[in-house]
Amino acid sequence: MSSTEAVVTEPRAGQKLRVEHLGLVYERDGESIAALEDINLDVSEGEFICIVGPSGCGKSTLLNVLAGFLPSTSGSVTIDGESVNGPDPRRILVFQERGVFPWLTVEGNIGFGLSKLPRAQRDERIAHYVQTVRLEGFEHTYPSDLSGGMKQRLQVARALAVNPDILYLDEPFGALDSITRVMMRGELLRIWQSERRTIIFVTHDIDEAVQLADRVVVLSSRPARIEDIITIDIQHPRNISSPRYLELRDELLKQIGLAYEV
């Protein structure tokens, strides 16, 4: 497992993340349970991918395997040709809750992965990302004094500060109220557009997926298989009342098997 500091990499065209015949089977009470089955996915550099699916289908499990926190039982995950063996600063996962370190200030959190850098460079990066996520003025604040949305922004800043190749987000806005969620989506898009990271974003919220993603991966319920991959071909900024938006949204809802009349 690499313990090196992430170094700024040259952006590569084409293949970024490649998942081939990925499967995960685990034992519980003597029984084998398949969580993931034959997942195949190709993600390009700078793409924004959303993964959606019914509750409990294994979206987070898939993300954890892609991030290297869980080993797969079959198939492979490669990033830039290198196979994923464990957690690595080149692919940071943003968690839904409790991801920030409460004993460190905003600055301390953002600088967490930067300990190998010389002081001046480190301070500069921290300042840059404080600005990126719009937490100026809170550099010396502790997370217990931040709102939920601010804490998530802090996590994103901390993740970006180490210049990862891929950013994984596991329902990052799930614990926030709906108004904050809408604002955070805008923030994330803004950051993504300026930095052009590859992002893989798990959510159970269909609207969120259609608003954010270039492509949406739909998973079936357990064992999770890829039902479909839908391309969202609307330009940003997306009008959420436009016919095309509603069409894509309906299609997704159908895929997941939900009625769209309450």
Partner 1 sequence: MNSMTKPRAWESFFWPAVAAGLLLAVWHYSVVWTGTKVFPSPLSVEKAVAELLQRHVLWADIGDSLRRVAFGFGAAVVVGVPLGLWLGWRPAANQVVNPVLQILRPISPIAWIPVAIIFFGVGDRAAIFLIFLGSFFPIVVACVSGVSSVPPVMRSAGRNFGLSTPQLLMRVVFPAALPQILVGVRIALGIAWLVVVAAEMIAVDSGLGYLVIDSRNSGKRYDLVVAAMLMIGIIGLALDLSFRRLERIKSVRWGFRNAA
Contacts with partner 1, residue ranges (CB under 8 A): 1-6, 67, 69, 86-89, 92-93, 95, 97-99, 101-104, 112-113, 142-144, 162
Minimum Å gap between C-beta 149 and partner 1 is: 18
Contact assessment for residue 232 and residue 248, using Cβ atoms and an 8 Å cutoff = yes
Minimum Å gap between C-beta 240 and partner 1 is: 32
Contact assessment for residue 251 and residue 243, using Cβ atoms and an 8 Å cutoff = no
Tell me which residue of 55, 17, 57, 43 sits closest to 225, measured CA to CA: 57
And the tokens for 4?
Answer: 């090196």
Cβ-based nearer residue to partner 1, 58 or 113: 113
Cβ-based nearer residue to partner 1, 89 or 215: 89
What's the Cα-to-Cα distance from 127 to each of 133, 187, 196, rounded to whole Å?
10, 18, 19
- Torsion angle, CA of 224/229/230/235, rounded to 10 degrees? 110
Minimum Å gap between C-beta 77 and partner 1 is: 15
Cβ-based nearer residue to partner 1, 93 or 232: 93
- Give the H/E segment covering residue 107: helix 106-110
Bridge pairing between strands 91-94 and 215-219: unpaired
Tell me which residue of 95, 217, 228 sits closest to 167, measured CA to CA: 95
Cβ-based nearer residue to partner 1, 5 or 124: 5
Strand partners, 169: 94, 201
Minimum Å gap between C-beta 211 and partner 1 is: 26
For residues 135 and 119, what is the distance between their CA atoms, to the nearest angstrom? 21
Minimum Å gap between C-beta 220 and partner 1 is: 26
Cβ-based nearer residue to partner 1, 161 or 191: 161
- Give the H/E segment covering residue 190: helix 178-195
Minimum Å gap between C-beta 65 and partner 1 is: 13
Cβ-based nearer residue to partner 1, 169 or 226: 169
